[in-house]
């Protein structure tokens, strides 16, 4: 004998057009790796980026700081310069910061415990493919610093 509850369910499905919802499996996603903010240092300078991962079409700002005691020769019209390359070494962007005030360019003598900071922004082109990019920062005659960051979605992210 047919269970009355099953008979009622069958009647209800028939009355409702017997639509059956099929669950669509969602793709299995691995958590994205935790990305620390990029940083680099070579006396007397250090550099950081404000993001470890940036979406195409947005911006990332790099800050380079010269700490004393030190003397650094800094260009007045383009104090901090940047060249960004992709994973193959192809240059995808180059630019520089705005002109520096007279006190922060030329021969800059930085006393012990003091520091001078410069910033440059990379407007990431919206057509740039996702991947890992390297930003090389040049502040006058100070050592070049390189920072690596991700653009777009990294493998393992959803």
Examine the pLDDT at 8 and tell me if it is beyond 80: no
Examine the pLDDT at 18 and tell me if it is beyond 50: no
Examine the pLDDT at 27 and tell me if it is beyond 50: no
Average pLDDT over residues 4-9: 53
User: Half-sphere exposure (CA, 13 Å, Cβ side) for 19?
Assistant: 4
pLDDT at site 30: 39
Domains along the chain? 38-151 (2.60.40.1930)
Contact 92, 86 (CB under 8 A): yes
Tell whether omega for the bond before 69 is within 30 degrees of 0, i.e. cis: yes
Q: pLDDT band for position 1 (50/70/90)? A: low
pTM for this predicted structure: 0.76
Q: What is the pLDDT of residues 90-139, one digit of tens each?
A: 999 999 999 999 999 999 999 999 999 999 999 999 999 999 999 999 99
Q: What is the pLDDT of residues 67-101, one digit of tens each?
A: 999 999 999 999 999 999 999 999 999 999 999 99
User: What is the C-alpha to C-alpha distance for residues 16 and 35, in angstroms, rounded to an integer?
Assistant: 51
Which stretch, 25-29, 31-35, 70-74, has highest mean pLDDT?
A: 70-74
pLDDT at site 26: 44
Examine the pLDDT at 22 and tell me if it is beyond 50: no
Q: pLDDT band for position 23 (50/70/90)? A: very low
Contact 122, 59 (CB under 8 A): yes
pLDDT at site 137: 98
User: What is the C-alpha to C-alpha distance for residues 152 and 82, in angstroms, rounded to an integer?
Assistant: 20
């Amino acid at each position: 004998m047919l269970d009355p509850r099953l008979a009622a369910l069958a009647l209800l499905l028939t009355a409702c057009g017997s639509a059956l919802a099929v669950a669509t499996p969602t793709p299995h996603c691995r958590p994205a790796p935790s990305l620390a903010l990029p940083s680099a240092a070579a006396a007397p300078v250090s550099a950081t980026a404000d993001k470890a991962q940036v979406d195409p079409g947005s911006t990332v700002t790099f800050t380079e700081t010269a700490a004393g005691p030190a003397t650094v020769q800094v260009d007045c019209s383009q104090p901090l310069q940047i060249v960004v390359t992709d994973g193959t070494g192809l240059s995808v962007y180059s630019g520089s910061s705005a002109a520096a005030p007279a006190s922060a360019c030329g021969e800059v003598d930085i006393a012990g415990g003091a520091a001078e900071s410069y910033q440059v922004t990379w407007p990431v082109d919206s057509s740039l493919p996702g991947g890992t990019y390297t930003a090389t920062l040049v502040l006058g005659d100070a050592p070049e610093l390189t920072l690596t960051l991700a653009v777009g979605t990294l493998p393992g992210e959803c």
